[in-house]
Structure 1
């Protein structure tokens, strides 16, 4: 179960991950051009397009441009694996989903998001053309094998939210971790799963290759409101509060590099965006991947800022099935900070804003 999965990660934290107070703008340190040049370990959980701003920042050398040495690791097994790495102190910064910060606060841990990359879910539920599940008849999901990126991931939450909304027990379906991208599409195509909850590029690959059809679509704002009741912020840069307290200049440099990447995404065609990526970041052929980028373009922020009202949606969803979150008095203001993106924006040359 979800709760047991996260207990393993939390046991690794020990006393070392005890939280500190949230930084205000003054605590965010000096300019991003300043003196913290020690390497930063950044881990990412998947190749889904929600994380595209990180891939662009890495591929375009923006971290180096702001004076930061970054060591990256891609687990390619879902954001929950990256969360485990963060709480075990085997990475400094995670590229993962915002809702993990809420879960950690419910466990008494201060994990803080400091750059918002994707302002909306980007998730879809797909099935083969002969799929028997019809969302207009929710009970038809019973008995289905549903592919998700990994247990405890936001794709897992998507499914659990749907079940909770319709009073369907979780044990009436089978949840199967299949990863993301081409591997996830292959699981659907080969009949290993009946339904797939995943992101672009998987969503576009499914339709382009005629593997199946999109059944529920939360890529657009209207789609997210239909599925969740509001926008569902997803991909963020997050870290333990202790890292942000000890290395505020590094956090500001990361924020600046991501703002450069977000501007590049906003200012360029999907084809040019894909051309900037190495093959290791591209699922399928580049033409199809470019169409996936175009389909997902609306989910990205322009400057990395969080909107407080939108953060209520993940909290509402988690409270439906996560007993720890449901029982906790969650203070959303402690799950994120705009301090670093604001300072990075102020320090940037006017032409780059």
Structure 2
């Protein structure tokens, strides 16, 4: 009898171990607990393959975009993205408006400019909490330029006319009583062409981003006049939190492709958060070799100079859009604050959900 009970117990254990499929097929009649339900499949993305336009991707201004790409965050979300790099943010915006790109990554003020033209484009995730823009005078003109006011009549290099680097020039001029027409604007891109412009005598001053600014500072080719690579420096210039790089799209694209937009926001929020904790070694491993300018120490120094400028969570601060609108309206007569609906220029819904998914 004892042997029979032992054999019965062994049989029950064997059925429990090897009979999972049988148990599921037999239902609950045998008194066994049901297996846990499988996770519901993720709904397919409306547009898994899409293009992103950006102006000057190697710049630290767009580092979260590069991190999301290099660490596979877009792929993790089921996206197959093509990133098209242009000379400046205004050129990238043209690609989005023209339909050759689906989504843009650029300065938040592009959404304000488009609304002033009667078109609704929205930011749906933030890369930069401060613009990282620097206005500096070149060494050849250093003796005659003590402040921004002394730039009158000079040639100022920007990444592209109409870009955020151009905006900084206009805001800086306005604060000292000068008009945008008091200087000449020259497009010099945002990569090694910046160095060529500065050292080649093509320009008298430069408004640009890192790592090029740190490179030129270290070599003694420029002297900084205005620096927004920290949130404190940005507030001093703009009078409040100034949102910088964002990912944006037309309102219609966002409405038609909410799961795709959510996937993009998820990837950028993950990149934003990764940058808050990344070590120098991790950063150098993630960034493409050709972005490092052949000097890893210099690149890390540039990153340290603007680390405070990256968004920590991809969210737009409530007082950010009003600050950007004041800045833009101060020199753009076509932008009339009373006619701009700020709640139409951004949404935090996707970044909020991304933060819940990636706390």
TM-score grouping bracket, smaller chain normalisation: 0.7 to 0.9
Separation in 2 of the partners of 1:62 and 1:245?
Answer: 23
- Residue 202 of structure 1: aligned partner: 212
- Residue 171 of structure 1: aligned partner: 181
Deviation at 1:99, TM superposition (A): 0.3
Separation in 1 of the partners of 2:215 and 2:344?
Answer: 38
Conserved? CA contact 1:263–1:302, under 8 Å: yes
Give the alignment's TM-score, normalised by structure 2.
Answer: 0.84
The secondary structure found in structure 1 opposite 2:339 is: coil
Separation in 2 of the partners of 1:142 and 1:342?
Answer: 44
For 1:73, which of 84, 89, 94 is the aligned residue? 84
Alignment: residue pair count: 316
- Residue 44 of structure 2: aligned partner: 35
Separation in 2 of the partners of 1:126 and 1:198?
Answer: 9
Structure 2 CA distance for partners of 1:208 and 1:338, relative to 1, 3 Å: same
For 2:246, which of 233, 236, 251 is the aligned residue? 236
Conserved? CA contact 2:48–2:78, under 8 Å: no
For 1:59, which of 63, 70, 84 is the aligned residue? 70
Conserved? CA contact 1:181–1:200, under 8 Å: no
Deviation at 1:32, TM superposition (A): 11
- Residue 189 of structure 1: aligned partner: 199
Structure 2 CA distance for partners of 1:166 and 1:326, relative to 1, 3 Å: farther
- The farther-off stretch of 108-117 and 176-185 is 176-185
Give the alignment's TM-score, normalised by structure 1.
Answer: 0.85
Establish whether residue 133 from structure 1 lines up as the match of residue 142 from structure 2. no
| Structure possessing the higher radius of gyration over alpha carbons | 2
Deviations 1:33-65 (A, max 9, x none): 431153011111112211100000011111001
- Residue 295 of structure 1: aligned partner: 305
Conserved? CA contact 1:121–1:232, under 8 Å: yes
Deviation at 1:284, TM superposition (A): 4.4
Conserved? CA contact 1:33–1:253, under 8 Å: no
Separation in 1 of the partners of 2:264 and 2:239?
Answer: 31
Separation in 1 of the partners of 2:48 and 2:154?
Answer: 49
- The farther-off stretch of 161-170 and 91-100 is 161-170
User: What is the correspondence of 1:36-115 to structure 2 with a 5 Å cutoff?
Assistant: 36=45, 38-46=48-56, 47-75=58-86, 77-115=87-125
Query: Which ranges of structure 2 fall in alignment gaps of 5 or more residues?
Result: 1-39
Conserved? CA contact 1:182–1:284, under 8 Å: no
For 2:160, which of 131, 150, 165 is the aligned residue? 150
**C-alpha RMSD of matched pairs (Å):** 1.8
- The farther-off stretch of 218-227 and 280-289 is 280-289
Query: Which ranges of structure 1 fall in alignment gaps of 5 or more residues?
Result: 1-30
Structure 2 CA distance for partners of 1:33 and 1:69, relative to 1, 3 Å: farther
Establish whether residue 211 from structure 1 lines up as the match of residue 221 from structure 2. yes
Deviation at 1:170, TM superposition (A): 2.7
Deviation at 1:171, TM superposition (A): 2.8
